[in-house]
Structure 1
Amino acid sequence: MTRRLCASVHLDEAFAREVDHRLTGDRLTALGLTLGINFVALARHARAALLRRGALDRQLAWLFAALVVSLLVAVWGLASGHGSVALIGVYGPLGILGASWWLVRRTESQAWDAALEVFRGTDKVEELAPPVEPAAESWLQEHSLKRANVLPYADAAALTNPFVGSGSKIKEAVWQPIDVSKPADAPNGGKLTIVPFDAVDLHTYVAKQMEGIAGLDGLRAKNRLYVLGSNAYMLPPLVPDRTARPLPKIPPQFVQAGLKNPGAGMRTHLCLERVGEGGRIIVSMYLRAILSGPSLTWEVACYAIPPVTTRFELVDRLPLANFERWRALTRHATSRVWPELRGAVGRIRDRGRRRRNAAKTLAKLRRDITEQHMLVDYGATDSLREWIGDWSQAGYAERIDSQDFLFRLQGGVLVATEKFLKDHNVDTSSFDKAQANISTQTYNISGDIHNSAVGNQGHVTNNGPQGQGPSGQSGAPQP
């Protein structure tokens, strides 16, 4: 998926600008999770594409100015009777149009070459484009799923879904309570002594065991603290500078504290994320162990992100044969030369105005924070991967894979929990009763998949009508 998106920024200027703004732009809000995307590589290629485009606009702006001058010279020559001067003024615009046509064609050819080199090449993607600013590179590297352990979520998501950017909600549930206060029977009679444990111990055990138990290679399991955006400032390691964006990584003790003592809009969840083949679909399960008195319950939330929109399939259709490529580039340059030439000055002016307005707005917000102690919502609203997803592109294979992932994750959590309780000498009779009910839960993905339930013996049964797709998902918005 990283290769496809890195290729797409070379072919889609609007997407490149959105990526550059999200990943390296000056902002105060948190960035959504990477979820199968190499942010460093994507930021580099987006910047390279924009620099190429900016260079073209500057060249065309000078040519347009020369065109205007040539036309004025031609008018003056005709009006004053200087035929030779008028002749120069007439042929000048033709040469300028020819040069503009060549620049437009060359730039598009360079974009195609860059896109194909990324998409079809074997070199590391991030090595095919120059780095961006060192501070931005370092920040993006820290934001990888392997390192990031905290995510502020927008206040608007507090009532619905704190797991911003994870896609469509498949299921939210609290599993049946399990009595963990009774010791297990000793082999020679009597009772064993329960080994004390807390929620952190259980989370750590499940995270380490899940990949092997669930049989999902590449499963990412990590404890992550979710923080309400307007409360992020209460956690100094998260927001050391209230006039800058929050950090993606904090000391582990704060993550553990969000599990032992949740509150103030801060809770720690065990995040299990599985990226499907080629990054086409992503399934996430968020768990939180709740130990209260003699019982243990699991808070469970499942989400899925569909394949990307058809907008990112252009790289698949680029002509490779010499003649077809020549014809397509020629057709593109011929149809775009005048709009590109005429609009170059306006595009440069609009980009400058947007940058100035954004900087002015952000400067005012920072003054309000420092001078008036204004509270800011630092939370992320979505993720880049969620933003470009489209459920209409999810085929049978993706929907079946999603259900398989979720069933494996659910089964893995149950097996890991049972093993953990046995290792701590807890009587699992209560767990066995709860498991019988938990195992019949269904996961409806999208399209015409029937609801399925995994029974106690692992059999799959149908439970009625066709499942409804995740709510609220459509094609990606156009930037």
Structure 2
Amino acid sequence: MVHRQLPPLPRYRKDAVTRRLCAAVHLDEDFARQVREEFVEDGMKAHGLSLGINLVAVVRHARVAAERMDVRDRQLGWLFAALCTAVFLWFYGLVSGGSVVAASGCYAVFAVLGAAWWLVHRAEAKARAAALDVFESAEAPEKLAPPVASEVETRLQELQQKRTNFVPYAADAERTTPFVGSGKKIKEAVWQPIDVSRPAVSPTGGKLTIKPFDAVALHTYVANEMAHIAGLEGLRAKNRLYVLGTHVWQLGPEALPDPLGRPRAQVPKQLVQAGLAQPGAGMRTYLSLERVGEGGRVVVSMHLRARLHHPSLTWEVAAYAIPPVHRRHARVDYLPRDGFQQWWSLMRFATGRTWPALRGAIGRNHRRGSAANRRARQLENMRKEISKRHAVYDYGADGSLRDRVSDWGEMGHSDRTDSQDFLHRLQQGVLTATERFLKDHNVDTSSFDQAQQVINMQTYNFSGDITGASNFGNNGQINIGQGPQPGPAGGGPAAGRP
């Protein structure tokens, strides 16, 4: 291969999507609270895979952002009570003729409004500064926010993509796909059967003795060799046990240490192998091949399962893709960085949002408190049902954070062609690895050659098989840490942000 000396072009940062989401939680209050509720609060549901993002970093920043808004709203709630008192004194003084009381009330009204304006301005300034810092800094994003509780940190570390080998999926997903959170289905098929009962012919013309093998050995071989065969840098291959959420408890403490808590994300490899050799009820092991595109914009995955029933071998194959992040989370691209524009933008924001934020503070505080209490009561009632009445609970995940923040409208031409290339390389890599494995075990591959011709006719259509929009845009923004990128300002403040 020829290596030319060429000038480097700007590239996506490897953690671009993680940084974008870390910035988004500071600028989108609803999003920050959703992330904190899902990953920090107590619960029993399993989490989806952290495909292409650093969950530790996103959750840390979400916790900081949500707490900042909680403090602001509590202070605004007190100020609104003070405002009501000041208005009462003002009108009482006007009605009763007490000029001193009226003047005091009038001054107090303006003082409260000024304090509220300052609180809104300060909170937004901190949010923008934190968003720009994590988006552009050379420091790792998880180091720019303090850790969350130790038990949460441990759970998030287990959820890292390269470590997770156990995925409980929600019972509702059984009707469609167990691969919750992997995005939209591109292709699902069972490949042409391959006869593995005939021994290969030796160079001298005699029959070789077939070396015994099982599906576990085949999966292990493909997982170890795929990165070299497919030629895809950063390809991750992991055998994972997918289990129906209502059946998790049957695996015992190795998968569910506490029936009133969340299931583990890592289980002993013997359980993973058992799900391949002898699958249980709603329990099957798949080899997940995952490739994260440039900067994490697109995540492509292929889930395979070897079905080895003498005398034939087939591969069950499902391909999925997650598109770029929704434009809603791109507001950081268009924030003013310095100078008069930054000052004026903050002034205008605080002036326009102070009264709505002040007026609704008490109601927001009450609704959030009521919602938290309701979630706690529901969780406690469910735990009572499990411990006292032995109720069956669905521990399965119903999606992933990366999938929920994606938008097929952001899928551009390069994203589609790169994804198609990834899937074709993965498919060819699996076929090549399978052929080498069979030859190593002295199996005649003539049946494989015939099956390969049929399998190679399959295509991966990113505008037909996908459930969703068929006309994709090309408006994703590049994150290379060099300020805002050109493009229309489409990432305005999120609805519900005071």
TM range (shorter): over 0.9
Shift in Å, 1:156: 1.0
TM-superposed CA distance for 1:190, in Å, is: 1.1
Aligned partner of 1:282 among 268, 274, 299: 299
Alignment map for 1:205-220 (pairs within 5 Å):
205-220=221-236
Q: Measured at CA, do residues 179 and 478 of structure 1 come closer, stay the same or move farther in structure 2, by a change above 3 Å?
A: farther
8 Å Cα contact 2:408/2:468 also seen in 1: no
Residues 478 and 433 of structure 1: CA distance in aligned 2, closer, same or farther (over 3 Å) = farther
The whole-number CA distance in structure 1 between the counterparts of 2:142 and 2:249 is 33
Counterpart Cα distance in 1 of 2:89 and 2:176: 65
Whole-angstrom distance in 2 between the partners of 1:305 and 1:174: 22
Give the AA of the match of 2:193: P
In the alignment, which of 241, 246, 260 is matched to residue 258 of structure 2? 241
Q: Does 1:307 align with 2:324?
A: yes
The answer to whether the Cα contact below 8 Å between 1:23 and 1:39 also exists between their aligned partners in 2 is no
5+ unaligned residues in a row in structure 1: which ranges?
Answer: 447-467
Q: Which runs of 5+ in 2 are unaligned?
A: 1-16, 473-493
Contact map agreement 1:153 1:378 (CA 8 A) in 2: yes
State which of 267, 271, 276 in structure 1 corresponds to 2:288. Answer: 271
Aligned to 2:397: 380
Question: In the comparison of the two structures, how many residue pairs are matched?
Answer: 457
Which one of 94, 100, 112 corresponds to residue 84 of structure 1?
100
Q: Does the residue aligned with 1:270 lie in a helix, a strand or coil?
A: strand
* Farther off after superposition, 66-75 or 411-420: 66-75
Distance 1:328 1:428 in 2: 68
Moved more, 79-88 or 138-147: 79-88
* SS at structure 2 position matched to 1:235: helix
- Counterpart check, 1:222 vs 2:238: yes
Among 72, 93, 100, the alignment partner of 1:56 is 72
Q: Which of 408, 419, 423 in structure 2 is aligned with 1:406? A: 423
Displacement, 1:355? 0.6
Alpha-carbon offset, residue 478 of structure 1 = 8.5
Aligned to 2:140: 124
1:471 aligns with 2:467: yes
> Are the counterparts in 1 of residues 219 and 287 from structure 2 also a CA contact under 8 Å?
yes
CA distance in structure 2 between the aligned counterparts of 1:270 and 1:282, rounded to whole angstroms: 16
Of 341, 354, 362 in structure 2, the residue corresponding to residue 324 of structure 1 is: 341
What amino acid does structure 2 have at the position aligned with 1:267? R
Shift of 1:469: 5.1
**Secondary structure at 2:274 match in 1:** helix
Q: Deviations over 1:5-60 (max 9, x none)?
A: 00000000011111111212222211111001111111100000011111111111
SS at match of 2:360: helix
Q: Deviations over 1:224-260 (max 9, x none)?
A: 0000111111111111211111111111100000000
- What is the identity, as a one-letter code, of the residue corresponding to 1:319? P
- Letter in structure 1 aligned against 2:109: P
Distance (Å, rounded) in 2 between the aligned partners of 1:58 and 1:152: 38
Does structure 2 conserve the Cα–Cα contact (< 8 Å) formed by 1:170 and 1:445? yes
Paired AA for residue 34 in structure 2: E
1:158 aligns to what SS in structure 2?
helix
Matches of 1:245 and 1:203 in 2, distance apart? 28
Contact 1:390 1:473 in 2 (8 A): no
Cα shift at 1:91: 1.0
Aligned residue in 2 for 1:453: none
CA distance in 2, matches of 1:147, 1:333: 44
Is residue 391 of structure 1 aligned with residue 387 of structure 2? no
- The aligned runs of 1:15-26 (5 Å cut-off) are 15-26=31-42
Distance 1:209 1:186 in 2: 25
| 8 Å Cα contact 2:90-2:106 kept in structure 1 | yes
The answer to whether residue 114 in structure 2 is matched with residue 111 in structure 1 is no
TM-score, length basis structure 2: 0.89
Distance 1:74 1:395 in 2: 59
Q: Could you tell me which residue of structure 2 aligns to residue 162 of structure 1? A: 178
Residue equivalent to 2:437: 420
Query: Per-residue displacement from partner, 1:433-461 (whole Å, max 9, x unpaired)?
Result: 11111111111112xxxxxxxxxxxxxxx
Separation in 1, partners of 2:280, 2:81 = 62
Deviation per CA, 1:372-409: give whole Å up to 9, x if none. 00001111111111111111110110110110000000
Q: 1:392 to 1:478 in 2, by over 3 A?
A: farther
- The one-letter amino acid of 1:343's match is G
Query: Is the aligned partner of 1:370 residue 2:366?
Result: no
What do you get for the CA RMSD once the two structures are aligned? 1.6
The C-alpha deviation readout for 1:65-104, integer Å capped at 9, x for no partner, is 2212222222333344332222111111111111111111
Which position in structure 2 is the counterpart of 1:452?
A: none
1:99 to 115, 121, 125: 115
Taking only the aligned residue pairs, the percentage that are identical comes to 58
Alignment match, 1:441: 458
- How big is each residue's C-alpha offset from its partner over 1:329-355, in whole Å with a ceiling of 9 and x where there is no partner? 111001001111111111111111001
Asked if structure 2 preserves the Cα contact closer than 8 Å seen for 1:10 and 1:114, the reply is yes
Equivalent position amino acid for 2:218 in 1: L
Is 353-362 or 18-27 further displaced after alignment?
18-27
Structure 1 residue 355 corresponds to structure 2 residue 372: yes
Alignment match, 2:51? 35
Once the two structures are TM-superposed, the CA of residue 472 in structure 1 deviates from its matched residue by: 4.1
- Rounded to whole Å, the distance in 1 between the matches of 2:25 and 2:279 is 41
Does residue 282 of structure 2 align to residue 251 of structure 1?
no
Matched residue of 2:176: which SS? coil
Name the amino acid aligned to 1:394: M
Distance 1:443 1:339 in 2: 49
Instruction: Kindly state the Cα deviation for residue 165 of structure 1 after the two structures are TM-superposed.
Output: 0.9
The answer to which of 245-254 and 18-27 deviates more is 18-27
Which whole-Å CA distance do the structure 1 matches of 2:97 and 2:314 have between them? 94
Query: For 1:376 and 1:201, how far apart are their aligned partners in 2?
Result: 34
Q: Distance in 2 between matches of 1:76 and 1:399?
A: 68
What is the deviation of 1:223?
A: 0.1
How many angstroms apart in 1 are the aligned matches of 2:308 and 2:376?
47
* SS at structure 2 position matched to 1:290: strand
Matching of residue 47 in structure 1 with residue 43 in structure 2: no
Q: Report if aligned partners of 2:323, 2:407 keep a CA contact under 8 Å in 1.
A: yes
1:470 is aligned with what amino acid?
A: I
Which residue among 173, 186, 200 is the counterpart of 2:189? Answer: 173
Bigger Cα displacement from structure 2, 317-326 vs 249-258: 317-326
